[in-house]
Amino acid sequence: MALYSRSGRPRPQAGGFELFVWYYMRLSGVALFVLALTHFSLQHFLFDPANETSQWIFNQRWNSVFWRSFDWLMLMMVVTHAFLGIRTVTMDYVKGGWRTLALTVLYLVGVIIFVMGTSVVLSVQMPGGA
């Protein structure tokens, strides 16, 4: 009897897109852990949550290219990690024409959410025209 059991999806033997997705899911999971922990620590330990109004977000957080980039990176990592995870589940459990339909809808929704998130981060105007 083994002392431990392997969990998770085994690494694909063939190269290509499936191997890329396999590695990306592992690396993005670690990156999301670091980004989310950093975000949580900054928002709840470094700054007082009672003072974090929408005006504070505009004046302190999003008035900096660094923080906009940080928030955009975290958003895009969440979107890509989630949609590639749903893609993996769809590939495992849905067969035939339903798989094609489900993946088409999934990719379409993923692109729409990616574009919407990016457009919000890039186009939100600062108060006072800054």
pLDDT in tens, 97-108: 999 999 999 999
In a domain, 23, yes or no: yes
Whether the pLDDT of residue 69 is over 80: the answer is yes
* Across 13-35, average pLDDT: 91
Q: Which domain holds residue 106?
A: 17-45+63-125
In a domain, 107, yes or no: yes
CATH number, domain containing residue 40 = 1.20.1300.10
| 127 compared with 119, residue with greater pLDDT | 119
Total number of domains constituting the chain: 1
Q: Residue 125 has which token pair? A: 């105007």
CA distance 19 to 72: 26
In a domain, 77, yes or no: yes
Q: What is the DSSP letter of 111?
A: H
**pTM above threshold 0.85:** no
In a domain, 5, yes or no: no
In a domain, 8, yes or no: no
In a domain, 25, yes or no: yes
* Across 5-13, average pLDDT: 71
CA distance 35 to 75: 10
In a domain, 56, yes or no: no
Task: Transcribe 26-92 into DSSP letters.
Answer: HHHHHHHHHHHHHHHHIIIIIS-GGG--HHHIIIIITTSHHHHHHHHHHHHHHHHHHHHHHHHHHHH
In a domain, 9, yes or no: no
